[in-house]
Amino acid sequence: MEDLKTFLIQKVLLFESDTLPAETDRVLQQVRRDKTDVAVIHVSSNTSSLIAGADKTYNSIKSYIEDNEPDSVLVKVGCVGPANYEPVVCVQLPGKNKLFFRNITEEKVEPLLNGVFHNDINNEDLLGQVGSKGFGLWPGIPFMNDLPFFARQKRVVLGNCGCYDPESIEEYIARGGYRTFIKTIRHYTYEEVCDIIERSGLRGRSGGGYLTGLKWKQALNTSSNARFMICNAKESDPGSFSDRTILESDPHRLIEGMAIAAYATGASSAILYLKCNSGHARERVQTAIDKAREYGIIGHNIYSSGYNLDITVRIEPGAFVCGEETALINSLEGKRGMPQLKPPYPTASGLMGKPTVINNVETIMNVPLIMQNGPEWFRSIGTEKSPGTKIFAITGRGRMSGVVEVEMGISLKTILDEIVDGIRDGKEFKAIQLGGAQGMFITNEYLDTPVDFDEMRSRGIGMGAGGFVVIDESTCIVDMVRYYMEFIRNESCGKCIPCREGTGRMLEILESVIRKPANEESGTTLERFKGVMQLETISTVMKDASLCGLGQTAPNPFVSALKNFREEFEEHIFDRKCRANVCRGLRTFIINVEKCTGCTVCAGKCPVNAIYGTRLQPFFIVEDKCTGCGICFDVCKFSAIIVK
Amino acid sequence: MAEDLEVIIKKYKQGRREDLIPLLQEIQSATGYLSEEAVVRVGSHLGLSTTKIYGLATFYDQFRFFPAGKINIRICNGTSCFMNGSQAVIEKFREELRIAPGQTTRNGNFSFDIVTCMGGCFHGPVVLVNGEYNIRLRPEQVPDLIKRLKYIIEND
C-alpha cells in the first residue's frame, strides 16, 4: 500500500508531461481494475440504492462469491443515474465488456450470478453493456449509451459517478484525478486560473447564473490578509438530491474542484457546508478529505508549491434559509442563519468580514474539467451564453427518475419525452416543476423552452438548482401549492414581515380552499374566492418587500399555478371538487348499495356519526354530516364505499 | 454525561463564537439532546448568555431539548414522497403514537421527525426506522410496523 502511494505521488501526480509512460499506465490499469484476470462486480451504494436494498444485495453477492468464485472482486461504487433501476449491479468478466443489471434485489443475486459465471447472461434484468477498446463484445446486447435514458444525456460532470469506488483515492488518481490541481498550483498564478474560468463562461449552477470566474476575481481583487472559499452543499429543497449523489459518488473531484477554487481566489481555508442528515455523503466526503490529506494534496506547502490549504466540513444545523449565502455565513459565524442586506457581497466582506467565495457543488465539479481540457473545450458544449451541462434530479411521476446530466440548450420536452420516457401508468401529463419549493409550474405551452439561463429567464422561468418534478393528473395542483407553502412557512427565518406573515396567511387561505366550509350559508364561497384574490396581492407584496430570495420567490408556485390552472382553483372553491381526488376535505363518499353487506363496521368507526342503517341492510352516508375523513373508506372490507 | 460534556468542551479550547454550532452539534450527537446543564455550561465556556444560545438552538431544526425516543422514526416528506401519499402516513403515525413530529412519547420509546428528501424518490413514501428503510409504506401498514417496533423494544 505504501509503495503504491509513493508510486502514485512520484510517477503520476508529480509527472510533468500530460501523457504518462506506458509502463506507468499499466500499473494504473491494475488500480482502475480495467484489465483484470478475475471477474469484477460493482454494486451501487449511494443512498437511493441503499433505500432500494443495495446493502442486502452486497452482502448476498459477497457470500455468493466467497462460496463459489473466491477470486472475484466486489466493489462498492457510486450511482450510475437511474434511481428506479436501483440496486444496479455491474459485472465485468475477464476481457469482456461490462454488463449492467437492474433491480437486483437480494433474492435475484444467486440466479443472476449462476448465469453470468456460466456465460448465460440471458436475464430479464439485463440493461446493457458498456465497452471500451480491447474488450470482448457481447453480441446482441444493447450498449448503455444507446438506451434512451442515456442517449440524450451528456455525462461530463457525472462522468466518474458509478465508475469507481468513491472511498479509494488511488482509483481517482489512476483515473487522472488531482493531476490538474497539482499542475494548476505549480504552473498557474491565481489570476490566470480566474481568467481561464472566466473565459470558459462557466456560470453559477445554483440558479442565479452569475459568471464564476468574475466572482472569483472580485474576491481576489479585494485586498485582505485572509480569504475563504465555501462550497455550498446545502441542498435542502424537497425532492432534490443531485448534490448528494455527486458527493456520494465522486467526492474526490469535488475536493479537487474546491482546492482549485480556493487556490484561484487566494484562500487558504475552504469549507464544505453540508446538509445535516445527509446520509452517507458526510462519511464519504470526510474519508475523501482524510485521504487527500494523507497524500499531501491538502495541507501545508502542497508539493513544494508554497501554497497551503485546509478543507473542513461544517454541518448545517437544519434551516432551509441557510442556503442563501449571507445566511450561510451567519450560521458559520455561530449566529442565527438570517440573510443580510446585499451589498456588501460576500466577495467583498463575507465570513469574518473577509472576502469569501461561495459556489454550489455542481459549479465546483466543472472546475477541474475546465482546467484539464481548457476553456475552449467547455465553450464547445452547450449554448453560447450558457456553456456546459446542467444536472437535474428527476423525481415525481415520470417513468424514469434519477440524476441526469444534459447539454445546455436541450429543450425541456426532450428531457421529458426521451430521458424521462413519459408518464408512469399511462397517466396524463400535467406540468413539470423546476427548482424546488420556489419554482414555477411549466405546462405544455412552455415545454419547448431550452435549458439555458437567459432563454429561461426571458420566459420568466427560473432554472433552479436542479429539481425536476414531473407532475401528472393524479396530483392536485392546489394541494401541491399548499405543500410548498407549508414548507416555506416552516422555513421562513422570520426576519422580514412580508415573508414571515405572508407565508402564514397564504397557507391559511390555501388550506381553507381545500376544505369544505363549516357553514354553507354566509356567503363563504365568495369569501374564499376573495381569499384567492388576496393571495395575489400578498404575492406581489412579498416579492417586492422581502430581503432574500426565499421570501421573494416564495409565491412563485402559487403565481404560476394560478396562471396555468385557474380552473382547478375555481373548481375547488365553487364546485367543492378536487379533480385529482387528493384533497381529503373535499371528498364525499357514497355507499354502493349492491356491495354493502350491512356489517356496521363503518358506522361504528365514523367519528361524526354520519353513517346510518339497519344491520345486514345496506347503509347510507349523510352527506351534510360527512367530513370526508375517509375512515369508512379505509375500514370497509367489501370496497363498498366509493369516492364521489 | 457531565464528563462527556467536559471532554467535548475541551476540544474547543479557544471558545470562539463560531465554535458554538459545532459544539452544540457534537454535544447533541454524544448525548442525544441539549440538556439545560449543557446549554449553561456552553454559555459559560463561550461567554454567551443562555438566552442567546437558546435563541440560536431553537432557530435551527436539528437541535432538540428532550431526549429522542429509543426508536427514532424519520419520515420523508419530500416532493416525490408527498405526491405518493406521505401526508397520510404522517397522519397515521401521529394518530398511532399520539405525538407530533419532533416530540417523544411519554414512555420514551418513540419519537418521529419529518425530513425533506432522503433520496429514495422512486420508492416513496420512505420511512427510516432503526437504520432500515421502509419503502412504499401505506398508512394501513403503519400499525403493524409500530407493533413490530414495540416488540423489538420489549425484547431488547
Contact A152, A414 (CB under 8 A): yes
* A119 and A196 fall within a common domain: no
pLDDT exceeds 70 at position A518? no
Within 10 angstroms of residue A67's Cβ, the number of other Cβ atoms is 8
**Higher pLDDT, residue A222 or A574:** A222
Is the Cβ pair A46, B117 closer than 8 Å?
no
* A363 and A295 fall within a common domain: yes
* A305 and A375 fall within a common domain: yes
* A449 and A498 fall within a common domain: no
Report yes or no on B66 lying in a domain.
Answer: no
Q: Which whole-number Å values give the CA distances from B32 to A343, A423, B66, in the listed order?
A: 40, 43, 8
Q: B74 vs chain A: nearest CA distance in angstroms?
A: 10
pLDDT exceeds 90 at position A250? yes
* A553 and A634 fall within a common domain: no
* B32 and B89 fall within a common domain: no
Return the ∠ at Cα A40 (arms to A38 and A41), rounded to 5°: 145
Bridging pattern class, strands A40-44 and A89-92: antiparallel
Calculated CA dihedral for residues A192, A196, A199, A202, nearest 10 degrees: -130
Q: By the CB < 8 Å criterion, does B151 face chain A?
A: no
- Contact list in B for residue A52 (CB cut-off 8 A) is 120, 122-123, 135
Residues 25-84 of B with CB under 8 A from A: 25, 55-56, 59-63, 74, 77-80, 82-83
Q: What is residue B85's predicted lDDT score, i.e. its pLDDT?
A: 86
Backbone phi, psi, residue A432, to 5°: -115, 155
Contact A236, A328 (CB under 8 A): no
Percent of chain A with pLDDT over 90: 50
DSSP string, A183-252: HHHHH--HHHHHHHHHHHT-B-TTTT--BHHHHHHHHHHS--S--EEEEEE---STT--HHHHHHHH-HH
CATH number for the domain including A417?
A: 3.10.20.600
* A595 and A569 fall within a common domain: no
Measured on CA atoms in the order A554, A559, A564, A565, is the torsion positive or negative?
positive
Closest CA to A284 of A254, A242, A239: A254
Contact A121, A210 (CB under 8 A): no
Q: Which whole-number Å values give the CA distances from A149 to A48, A260, A302, A329, in the listed order?
A: 18, 32, 41, 39
User: How do residues A222-249 score in pLDDT, each as one tens digit?
Assistant: 999 999 999 999 887 887 888 889 999 9
* B41 and B94 fall within a common domain: no
Per-residue pLDDT of chain B (156 residues; tens, 9 = 90+): 678 889 999 999 888 998 999 999 999 999 889 999 999 999 999 999 999 999 999 999 889 998 888 999 999 998 888 988 898 899 889 988 999 988 899 998 999 888 888 878 888 799 999 788 899 998 888 999 999 999 998 887
Report yes or no on A158 lying in a domain.
Answer: no
Is the Cβ pair A51, B20 closer than 8 Å?
no
The span from the CA of A471 to the CA of A397, in Å, is 6
Q: By the CB < 8 Å criterion, does B130 face chain A?
A: no
Report yes or no on A24 lying in a domain.
Answer: no
* B46 and B82 fall within a common domain: no
Q: Which residue has the cell 474519508?
A: A287
* B75 and B144 fall within a common domain: yes
* A316 and A441 fall within a common domain: no
How confident is residue A1, by pLDDT bands cut at 50, 70 and 90? Answer: low
Question: Which of B56, B82, B119 is closest, CB to CB, to A244?
Answer: B119
* B41 and B116 fall within a common domain: no
DSSP designation for A9: I
Report yes or no on B93 lying in a domain.
Answer: yes
Cβ partners under 8 Å of residue A250, min gap 6: A78, A158, A160, A161, A164, A166, A365
The span from the CA of A269 to the CA of A457, in Å, is 35
Is the Cβ pair B121, A483 closer than 8 Å?
no
E-only strand ranges, A57-136: 73-77, 89-92, 98-101, 126-130
Cβ partners under 8 Å of residue A548, min gap 6: A321, A324, A326, A327, A339, A496
Question: Which of A319, A352, A401 is closest, CB to CB, to B121?
Answer: A401
Q: Can you tell me the ipTM of this complex?
A: 0.93
The span from the CA of A271 to the CA of A232, in Å, is 9
> In terms of residue numbers, what domain contains B44?
2-59
Query: Final residue of a domain: which of A437, A472, A507?
Result: A472
Report yes or no on A18 lying in a domain.
Answer: no
* A510 and A410 fall within a common domain: no
CATH number for the domain including B150?
A: 3.40.30.10
How confident is residue A313, by pLDDT bands cut at 50, 70 and 90? Answer: very high
CATH number for the domain including A497?
A: 1.20.1440.230
Nearest CA in chain A to B134: A51
Report yes or no on A27 lying in a domain.
Answer: no
Cβ partners under 8 Å of residue B33, min gap 6: B64, B65, B66, B67, B68
- Contact list in A for residue B140 (CB cut-off 8 A) is 634
- What mean pLDDT do residues A590-597 have? 87
- Contact list in A for residue B115 (CB cut-off 8 A) is 277
The span from the CA of A438 to the CA of A558, in Å, is 9
Is the Cβ pair B120, A48 closer than 8 Å?
yes
pLDDT exceeds 80 at position A292? yes
Report yes or no on A17 lying in a domain.
Answer: no
Domain count, chain B: 2
The span from the CA of A206 to the CA of A523, in Å, is 46
Q: What is residue A236's predicted lDDT score, i.e. its pLDDT?
A: 77
Nearest CA in chain B to A424: B122
Nearest CA in chain A to B46: A334
User: How do residues A433-486 score in pLDDT, each as one tens digit?
Assistant: 988 888 889 999 999 999 999 999 898 888 878 889 999 998 999 999 999 999
CATH number for the domain including B12?
A: 1.10.10
Q: What is residue A519's predicted lDDT score, i.e. its pLDDT?
A: 67
The span from the CA of A124 to the CA of A92, in Å, is 18
Query: Final residue of a domain: which of B31, B59, B87?
Result: B59
Report yes or no on B97 lying in a domain.
Answer: yes
Query: Final residue of a domain: which of A413, A443, A472?
Result: A472
- Contact list in B for residue A46 (CB cut-off 8 A) is 119
* B82 and B139 fall within a common domain: yes
* A46 and A115 fall within a common domain: yes
Report yes or no on B11 lying in a domain.
Answer: yes
Is the Cβ pair B61, A332 closer than 8 Å?
no
E-only strand ranges, A349-502: 356-360, 389-396, 402-407, 429-434, 440-442, 467-472
Is the Cβ pair B119, A245 closer than 8 Å?
yes
Query: Final residue of a domain: which of A575, A607, A623?
Result: A575
CA Rg value for chain B: 18
Helix, strand, coil share of chain B (percent; to 5) = 55, 10, 35
Q: Which residue in B72, B80, B126, B136 has the most chain A C-beta atoms within 10 A of its own C-beta, making it the best mutation to test that interface?
A: B80
Burial of A555 (0-12, 13-18, 19+ CB in 10 A): buried
Burial of B96 (0-12, 13-18, 19+ CB in 10 A): middle
* A79 and A183 fall within a common domain: no
Buried b (16+ CB within 10 A) or exposed e, A100-135: bbbbbebebbeebbeebbeeebebebbbbbbbeeeb
Domain count, chain A: 5
Size of interface A-B (CB pairs under 8 A): 124
Contact A339, A323 (CB under 8 A): no
Report yes or no on B31 lying in a domain.
Answer: yes
Model confidence, pTM: 0.92
Q: Which whole-number Å values give the CA distances from A42 to A80, A144, A212, in the listed order?
A: 11, 15, 36
Question: Which of B18, B80, B118 is closest, CB to CB, to A334?
Answer: B18
Closest CA to A154 of A414, A422, A462, A447: A414
Is the Cβ pair A241, B126 closer than 8 Å?
no
Nearest CA in chain B to A398: B122
Report yes or no on B17 lying in a domain.
Answer: yes
pLDDT exceeds 70 at position A521? no
Report yes or no on B19 lying in a domain.
Answer: yes
Nearest CA in chain B to A241: B119
Q: Would you put residue A525 in left (φ > 0), alpha (ψ -120 to 50) or beta?
A: alpha
User: How do residues A186-216 score in pLDDT, each as one tens digit?
Assistant: 999 999 999 999 999 999 988 778 999 999 9
Q: Which amino acid is at A591?
A: I
Long-range pairs of A108-111 with CB within 8 A, sequence gap ≥ 24: A109/A57, A109/A60, A109/A61, A109/A64, A110/A60, A110/A64
- What mean pLDDT do residues A363-379 have? 95
* A109 and A46 fall within a common domain: yes
The span from the CA of A585 to the CA of A617, in Å, is 28
> In terms of residue numbers, what domain contains A530?
477-575
Q: A433 vs chain B: nearest CA distance in angstroms?
A: 10
Backbone phi, psi, residue A395, to 5°: -135, 180
pLDDT exceeds 70 at position A520? no
User: How do residues A98-111 score in pLDDT, each as one tens digit?
Assistant: 899 999 999 999 98
Cis amide linkage into residue B22, ω under 30° from 0: no
pLDDT exceeds 80 at position A525? no
Q: A635 vs chain B: nearest CA distance in angstroms?
A: 10
Strand partners, B129: B73, B132
For residue B82 the three cell numbers come to 408527498
* A594 and A562 fall within a common domain: no
Contact B93, B112 (CB under 8 A): yes
**For A202, what's the count of Cα atoms within 13 Å in the CB-facing half-sphere?**
33
Nearest CA in chain A to B83: A475
- Contact list in B for residue A480 (CB cut-off 8 A) is 82-83
